[in-house]
Amino acid sequence: MASQTESLIKPQRYLLHLARSHPTFRIPELDSCACLYGFGIRLLATGDYYISGAYQPSSSSWGHELGSTLELEDAIGQGDSALLVIEFTTGQGVYKDSESTCMPVVDTQKTDEWARLLTQRCILVKSISHLFSPIPCSPNYEHLHDYMRPRRELWQKYEDEQKQFAFNLTGINKKIGFPRQRETIEGFAFMELTSKINLKNPEVTYMLFEEYEDSSLDVDNPDSDTTGKGKAKLEEAVDGVKPLRVFMGSLVAYGQARQLVYKFAVKDRKFFGNTSMESEMSLLMAGQTLADQGKLVYDPFAGTGSLLYVCANWGSYVMGSDIDGRQMRGKDKTGPGVFRAANQYGVRDKVLDCLTFDVTRNPWRRGELLDAIITDPPYGVRAGAKRLGRKEGGKKKQISEPVKLPNGVWSHEMPGYVPASRPYEMVDLVYDLVVFARYMLVPGGRLVFFLPTFTEEWDPVDVPVIEGMREISFGQGSAQDYNKWSRRLITLEKVKVVDAEGVEKKWEPPTFVPLDEDFADMQVKDEDSSEEEEAAPRKDHTKVPGHANFREKYLAGFPSSAPSTPPTQD
Amino acid sequence: MVRLITHNMLTCHVKNCTKDNYPLVFQDAAVEIRPAEPNLGFIERFLPKLEWSALVSTAKALGNDSLPDEMPEDKEELRSEEFLTKLHHVLMETHVEEGAMVCQGCGHVYQISSGIPNMLLAEHEVGR
């Protein structure tokens, strides 16, 4: 009973073992899961770092205290550690300092259920345990043993019920050989466990984590395997090599969602293209959409449909469109590739339809049809974005009347007719996408997309800010870094805007009118001439975004002595 | 593919085509019925977004007259499993694999091939 009384006062703390890949996506993924299922998460510690107030006094002081949640978000995003300590709160999503009304939840039955939801939904979560080790961690086993000895209540409840147990020792960045594993586990003799050992089906698993210096190997990603020999191998920790820190807990659940990374691996897919997104990133994006049973998710640049399958996997209905129908169909005679791949994953039923059209000339009858828009726009590195119409000032002028061919047939009704298209500049595309999303989404619906950017020129204001769309971002944001450029995952949520009479504002469809084509001409906007942003001409951007003329800069190899204004087009 | 739920959301979008541009009318439609696992909650949530008369006339033209001409006013009936299941069959299980959708206003023919409709506009229909 003693341990029960204690758990009524203090909220259970949880130890999350996370995958090493894409650390800047960790918090967004946890946040989205918590938003979807309606619980709150407070981040407490990672690696050597902890938030003030979370610290537990132990025999020797240890770790670095951080003053704000934002600093901790940065530390988690850096990915130096694979371990994260959290507790659950009321509210929705990951706790922010600005929304400090969330209270810890002490009902362990409830919080265990939430922890299990995280393991079922978050692909970066490898396991979740009840935390035994101190916050932020222990620098070595002596420290951990000293901390645990006076705290028998941590494991006494399992002893009382004579739960059959096992130990599981995980080396991070190093493999731990069997003799060393046994030796380490024997070190826990002070726990005086009298219940039976059961290695096959333990009722309680004591989880140990030893974290070593970073290894550059990305052992988790099946699509990053270039050797063709399967998983890369970790080095074994030899005598004299000591871990940086150790953690311990009792297992709640192993990550169930992580196996989806293998299920959706592009190399095993029946149909894909040279721009298909790797499965792990697709799944992370799908998580951001809050895809779920009975929702409707749409990709306006669907390509080969990579993002549709993963959203459908969470039970959503999905639709895709692309200006280039050949991308969705593929060359195989046995039917369109998108449907074959959907069949392979058992989600054909969920793919409502795939259509060929240019989203700037779209046939949607009305707005507020969609729960989410997910897309990886073609930003022009491997395949540039196109829109219908002819380029202004080009060799041929756009025609406004149909043309009858000498044989009496309208040219556009000839089989194989492909209408003229022109480049779709990234800045236009991104702005249009956000305005389009505000029109098409239901309130609370999300737009999730990749924004490529020249790393040196990135600025948070590059994401279009319009009334009614709110960005969801943690730390420095979520980014996948390449050498001189990166792509940022942007998540925007449509918020209800109510006027003075309490009437919900309805938004107009976007006009898709291009921004001034010459970015060098863009003027710095006068702050006090802040007219209605809808009425303001769009060339009044305050700054040239980091993704302007992305393709030109990419092809030019990103000159590092880039002028403050990017080169003009043509 | 081209389920009737999708068809209900599509309108002709040719430049200056604003009269009789909805609904698009199926032509030479090859209809296929494919059973789909029902999610009646989704159907119920979609009800307020449906264009009912367009759905009924389109379903009739494809040989399904199971739906009443007017959407039932009785809330209980609207939410009944029987009604939603009927609607699920029309919206989610009825596919047009081949054929075309034709605009009654401007006459644009949107071809459907292997279940994928071509909603692209011709150069002179785009506008600026």
DSSP symbols for A470-535: EE---TT-EEEE-SSEEEEEEEEEE---B-TTSPBP-PPPP--PPPPS-GGGPPPPPTT----TTT
CB-based contact, A511 to chain B, within 8 Å = no
Three-class HEC string of A17-46: EECCCCHHHHHHHHHHHHHHHCCEEEEEEE
Interface contact flag, B116 A365, Cβ < 8 Å: no
Q: Which residue of A has its CA nearest to B120?
A: A357
Interface contact flag, A420 B114, Cβ < 8 Å: no
| Alpha carbons B125 and A357: distance in angstroms, whole number | 13
Per the DSSP assignment, residues forming a β-bridge with B79 are none
| Neighboring chain B residues of A356 at a CB cutoff of 8 Å | 116-120
| Neighboring chain A residues of B41 at a CB cutoff of 8 Å | 293-294
Say which amino acid occupies A88.
F
Helix boundaries (H) for A217-257: none
CB-based contact, B126 to chain A, within 8 Å = yes
Query: Which residue, among A340, A355, A392, would best test binding to B if mutated, counting the most B CBs under 10 Å from its CB?
Result: A355
> If you classify domain B4-126 with CATH, what class do you get?
mainly beta
Q: Which of B44, B122, B120 is nearest to B88 (CA)?
A: B44
Return the pLDDT at A56: 66
Q: What H or E segment, with its residue span, contains residue A469?
A: strand A469-471
CB-based contact, A444 to chain B, within 8 Å = no
Please identify every stretch of chain A with a pLDDT value under 50, giving residue numbers as ranges: 1-8, 59, 218-222, 224-230, 517-541, 561-570
Return the pLDDT at A538: 45
Q: A298-351: per-residue pLDDT in tens?
A: 999 999 999 999 999 999 999 999 999 888 888 877 889 899 999 999 999 999
| Alpha carbons B15 and A5: distance in angstroms, whole number | 71
Q: Which of A370, A291, A347, A372 is nearest to B46 (CA)?
A: A370
Which three-class secondary structure state does DSSP give residue A267? helix
For chain B, the domains span 4-126
Return the pLDDT at A566: 42
Query: Residues A37, A88: contact at Cβ < 8 Å?
Result: no
State phi, psi for A372 to the nearest 5 degrees: -160, 150
Interface contact flag, A355 B6, Cβ < 8 Å: yes
| Alpha carbons B41 and B91: distance in angstroms, whole number | 14
Kindly list the distances between the CA atom of residue A328 and the CA atoms of A323, A324, A340, A355, in Å, as whole numbers in the listed order: 10, 8, 10, 9
Q: Which of A352, A284, A308 is nearest to B42 (CA)?
A: A352
**How many separate helices (H) and strands (E) can be counted in chain B?**
6, 4
Per the DSSP assignment, residues forming a β-bridge with A125 are A18
Q: What H or E segment, with its residue span, contains residue B82?
A: helix B81-92
Say which amino acid occupies A507.
W
Burial class (CB in 10 A: 0-12, 13-18, 19+), A10: exposed
CB-based contact, B37 to chain A, within 8 Å = yes
| Neighboring chain A residues of B124 at a CB cutoff of 8 Å | 399-403, 412
Measured on CA atoms in the order B34, B38, B43, B44, is the torsion positive or negative?
positive
Q: Which residue of B has its CA nearest to A333?
A: B114
What does the block give as tokens for B3?
Answer: 């389920």
Interface contact flag, B124 A366, Cβ < 8 Å: no
Interface contact flag, B116 A336, Cβ < 8 Å: yes
* Torsion, CA A117, CA A121, CA A126, CA A130, rounded to 10: -10
Say which amino acid occupies B78.
L
| Neighboring chain A residues of B119 at a CB cutoff of 8 Å | 321, 355-357, 362-363
| Alpha carbons A436 and A513: distance in angstroms, whole number | 12
CB-based contact, A353 to chain B, within 8 Å = yes
CB-based contact, A354 to chain B, within 8 Å = yes
Query: Measured in whole angstroms, how far is the alpha carbon of residue A430 from the centre of its chain?
Result: 19
Q: A346-397: per-residue pLDDT in tens?
A: 999 999 999 999 999 999 999 999 999 999 998 765 557 888 988 877 778 8
Q: Which residues 395-424 of A have a C-beta within 8 angstroms of B?
A: 398-403, 412-413, 417, 419-420
State phi, psi for A17 to the nearest 5 degrees: -95, 120
Q: Which of A369, A376, A361, A509 is nearest to A430 (CA)?
A: A376
Query: Residues A70, A118: contact at Cβ < 8 Å?
Result: no
Q: Which of A447, A488, A499 is nearest to A471 (CA)?
A: A447
| Alpha carbons A434 and A503: distance in angstroms, whole number | 22
Which three-class secondary structure state does DSSP give residue A288? helix
Interface contact flag, A328 B6, Cβ < 8 Å: no
What does the block give as tokens for A348?
Answer: 């054909």
Query: Residues A282, A310: contact at Cβ < 8 Å?
Result: yes
Return the pLDDT at A58: 57
Which three-class secondary structure state does DSSP give residue A422? strand
Return the pLDDT at A271: 85
CB-based contact, A333 to chain B, within 8 Å = no
| End-to-end Cα distance, chain B | 31
| Neighboring chain B residues of A354 at a CB cutoff of 8 Å | 1, 116
| Alpha carbons A414 and B69: distance in angstroms, whole number | 39
| End-to-end Cα distance, chain A | 77
Q: B20-61: per-residue pLDDT in tens?
A: 999 999 999 999 999 999 999 999 999 999 999 999 999 999
| Neighboring chain A residues of B116 at a CB cutoff of 8 Å | 325, 328-329, 336, 353-356
Which three-class secondary structure state does DSSP give residue A423? strand
Q: Which residue has the tokens 């929705």?
A: A92
Burial class (CB in 10 A: 0-12, 13-18, 19+), A232: middle
CB-based contact, B13 to chain A, within 8 Å = yes
Of B8, B114, B120, the CB nearest to A419: B120
Interface contact flag, A388 B126, Cβ < 8 Å: yes
Cα angle A470, A471, A474; round to 5: 140
Per the DSSP assignment, residues forming a β-bridge with B109 are B102
